[in-house]
Structure 1
Amino acid sequence: MNNVSISPAGLEPNLLREQFSYDRPPLIAFDGVNVPMDRPDDLFITDTTFRDGQQARTPYTVRQITELFDLLHRLSGPKGVIRQTEFFLYSEKDRQAVRACQERGYEFPEITAWIRAVAKDFQLVKMMEIRETGILTSCSDYHIHLKLGLNREQAMEQYLSVVRSALDAGIHPRCHLEDVTRADVYGFVVPFVQQLMRLSEESGISVKVRLCDTMGYGVSYPGASLPRSVPRLLHALRTETGIASSQLEWHGHNDFYKVLTNAATAWLYGCSGVNGTLLGFGERTGNTPIEGLLFEYMGLTGDTSVDTRTVTEIADYFERELGYSIPPMTPFVGKSFNVTAAGIHADGIIKNEEIYNIFDTDRLLNRPLGVLVTDKAGTAGVAHWVNRYLKLSGEKRIDKRSEGVQAMYEWVVAQYGDGRTTSLSDEELLGAARRYLPGLFPA
């Protein structure tokens, strides 16, 4: 581990204008430096639905938080794939929610807190008897100089003083390196984490570091430059500070549509934990969706210990209880994510649904493959809808070439004769099926 000192340039802000000019999209710079993958043995997910996720929507009630916490617990599975979830502590309602979840007595997800790097916030963590807390430790000069009005040395000492207070009380600190993908990595980030590792060694208490891609600037491309390169960020911290993978966590935002890719890249390059929220709720474009992380985790590890059908229950809860209309094309949870509209696709599905389905969505998500019936669906689409809706299998399945299906499809086409553009509802199709396929409906 090299001894890296805080940059003297820290007296003046370094805004990295060669990459972040502000009057144009940020430049993705390349210097050709590649680093090796270093995937940890233990990969896990952490949750911030009740912290970052709650900043982007109407606040949850105590009951809603408790019920979502129950669903997160079920989604964690027996191995605790979703290891932790964090809470605000500022209002009495926040604290009531924490107490209600503490009373559940679950091992996973562990309840943690989030505070600013000020002493009075730390008192809340002690009062609530929470073992671990996140601490906001902004690390780019945009935040240190322009938001906090400090220089780097002042910011570092303020952050370290709160970490020392946590360690003195036996509480595990988790430092959130806000805006790390726009920070001076060797001028501030590495020296700060070196100090954290010294405190951790002296105290015997593990200090965690959450790398916060606050503005979604992170990239996964080989040869990309710091501070935007996710592989290079993790490599720098692992090699220069001695921090262990188990102490590292990634927290991303989706401003440039890279949130899941960056999260998976963080796993592959040495970060054990990746942080997300249910349905991706979070500041601006949102955080990494927990449901996306879960399937990425399963793909990387082969672990099938989790009951993924809970994902569908969570989606149903958001729509039914919280009144949130999930965009229909949203992977895994949107109503159209496994529904095909093209007739030629429906024809393939009838032969073998693996042709146009990403996996067995019925078994893994309790979401059977669907066909959107319009005038473009063809007789194959109509036959698939009938068989799926009426649960016909084996010899009972209706063939697309049957006279009844042919007549029903003619009726479908006629519905679009006056310019209709919306798909047909199940109720409309059921009425047509009763008319054209009466033999399927016993008197």
Structure 2
Amino acid sequence: MPLKVGILDSTLREGEQTPGVLFNKNQRIEIAQLLSDAHVAMIEAGHPLVSPDIYSAIKEIMDMKASGMINSEIIAHSRAVNSDIDSAASLGVDRIAIFYGVSDIHLDNKTHRSRTEALDIIYDSISYASSTGIPVRFTAEDASRTDINFLRNVVRTAVDAGADRVSIADTLGILTPEKTAYIFNNLSDIKGVEYDFHGHNDMGMALANGLAAAESGATIIHSTVNGLGERVGIIPTQALGVLLNYHLGVDAINLLSLKPLSELIEKYSGITMPPNYPVTGSTAFTHKSGVHVDGIIRNPGTYEFMDPSRLGLQHSFTIDKYSGKHALREKLANMGINADDNKISYMLEKIKNNNMVYSEDDLKEIANSDNQRHYVK
């Protein structure tokens, strides 16, 4: 297990590949600043040749880096072609990330190259990028469907050409934690390189695969805020940050930054997060069942894996037909209403006979109702 696992946030690159999502220049700069303030290790700022506004935004982000306003490592994305590499190098980024599809299906149907030709292209492009003096990461696109022996050759080729990092990409989101560990364990003996993991979430396994990668030697895990990205996206930054903290004891991101980041990306992407979204969803620490609420009142650790105050949040609970007397009494006390057992019993009878969620105004109305004096225990 590595002593340190960092987060590479790719909201500005992978995140903007979400269908319907486009960030303008000012939004990109604001997102980069907030990510740096959150202490993520790396920010993938985009592919500069995609559009002039991305190029311009990366340039300003690098100016901010030079002035000390941004501290995270800034990465520019690049195809394995010299024009892309030149564009990235002209910005003076901290790292150039070159990607190339290495599975047989990509070689046969997309690039129409043999394995030998692919290795030559990978070597030449990394060598060219390394000649700029800028560190290089190579991304083995579709690594999860690549023959493991050929993948080893790819990694060795990238290292020989000058890459100090290789990203293992589960481009289709097909891995399981066991298969993820298998890949990293079979690459662990190759010297002179550190590994990233880039996992898509097509089968809902991305976060679990990211943990398996970290436990098997990857020192950087890729994510996006709110899990944005191609198709159904990749690992969510907020879930990854909490997962690394809880299971590995790694402070890869400032936990207090997760909710503001989620809200900012929700605003700029136009994609509304469901209330039950992990970590930062509006009901992530909201409890309903009477048994659960009773446990929370006695000791929050009974039904909360983490003190929500560490995330700048607080727990709450709803009042409806599932509520018990402990929940109702606690809710009323928080509203400044003292209720004896008779009043609690009266109110619960009213609540359980109606199929609705009760607001504070609803509860005040019942608590102040004259009918409660007729209640017989």
SS of 1:237's equivalent in the other structure is coil
Structure 1 partner of 2:104: 141
- In 2, Cα distance between equivalents of 1:383 and 1:185: 60
Count of matched residue positions in the alignment of Structure 1 and Structure 2 = 364
Identity fraction in percent? 22
Structure 1 partner of 2:352: 413
**Residues 406 and 63 of structure 1, relative CA distance in 2, 3 Å threshold:** farther
Structure 2 partner of 1:383: 329
Q: Give the conservation status (yes or no) of the 8 Å contact 2:16–2:23.
A: yes
- In 2, Cα distance between equivalents of 1:74 and 1:413: 47
Structure 2 partner of 1:108: 71
1:151-166 superposed matches below 5 A: 151-166=114-129
Pairing 1:233–2:195 present:
no
Q: Give the conservation status (yes or no) of the 8 Å contact 2:42–2:74.
A: no
2:175 to 190, 215, 218: 218
Pairing 1:191–2:153 present:
yes
Pairing 1:124–2:87 present:
yes
Unaligned runs of 5+ in 1: 1-38, 201-205, 222-228, 439-443
1:40-79 superposed matches below 5 A: 40-56=2-18, 57-76=20-39
1:257 to 204, 226, 232: 204
**Residues 210 and 381 of structure 1, relative CA distance in 2, 3 Å threshold:** same
SS of 2:279's equivalent in the other structure is coil
Q: Give the conservation status (yes or no) of the 8 Å contact 1:47–1:276.
A: yes
CA RMSD of aligned residues (A): 2.4
Q: Give the conservation status (yes or no) of the 8 Å contact 1:379–1:406.
A: yes
> How far off its partner does 1:219 sit?
2.1
Pairing 1:242–2:191 present:
yes
Pairing 1:287–2:250 present:
no
> How far off its partner does 1:367 sit?
1.8
1:432 to 363, 366, 371: 363
Structure 1 partner of 2:44: 85
The residue type paired with residue 142 of structure 2 is D
**Which string of whole-angstrom CA distances, capped at 9 and with x for unpartnered residues, describes residues 199-234 of structure 1?**
23xxxxx5310000111222223xxxxxxx222211
Q: Give the conservation status (yes or no) of the 8 Å contact 2:37–2:70.
A: no
> How far off its partner does 1:177 sit?
0.4
- In 2, Cα distance between equivalents of 1:271 and 1:319: 29
The residue type paired with residue 371 of structure 1 is F
Q: Give the conservation status (yes or no) of the 8 Å contact 2:78–2:85.
A: yes
Q: Give the conservation status (yes or no) of the 8 Å contact 2:164–2:192.
A: no
Q: Give the conservation status (yes or no) of the 8 Å contact 2:35–2:43.
A: no
**Residues 410 and 86 of structure 1, relative CA distance in 2, 3 Å threshold:** same
**Which string of whole-angstrom CA distances, capped at 9 and with x for unpartnered residues, describes residues 160-199 of structure 1?**
221111011112221110111101121x211122122222
The residue type paired with residue 42 of structure 2 is R
> How far off its partner does 1:238 sit?
2.2
- In 1, Cα distance between equivalents of 2:240 and 2:177: 16
Structure 1 partner of 2:372: none
- In 2, Cα distance between equivalents of 1:149 and 1:111: 32
- In 1, Cα distance between equivalents of 2:24 and 2:349: 50
- In 2, Cα distance between equivalents of 1:327 and 1:95: 33
**Which string of whole-angstrom CA distances, capped at 9 and with x for unpartnered residues, describes residues 263-283 of structure 1?**
111111111111111111112
Tell me the TM-score normalized by structure 1: 0.76
The residue type paired with residue 94 of structure 1 is I
**Which string of whole-angstrom CA distances, capped at 9 and with x for unpartnered residues, describes residues 379-421 of structure 1?**
3333333345x4x6xxxx856x5444444434433542xxx5x
SS of 1:386's equivalent in the other structure is helix
Q: Give the conservation status (yes or no) of the 8 Å contact 1:72–1:82.
A: no
> How far off its partner does 1:304 sit?
5.1
Tell me the TM-score normalized by structure 2: 0.88
The residue type paired with residue 51 of structure 2 is S
**Residues 307 and 190 of structure 1, relative CA distance in 2, 3 Å threshold:** closer
Pairing 1:180–2:180 present:
no
The residue type paired with residue 99 of structure 2 is L
- In 2, Cα distance between equivalents of 1:410 and 1:74: 50
SS of 2:280's equivalent in the other structure is coil
Structure 1 partner of 2:293: 346
Unaligned runs of 5+ in 2: 370-377
The residue type paired with residue 47 of structure 2 is F
Structure 2 partner of 1:23: none
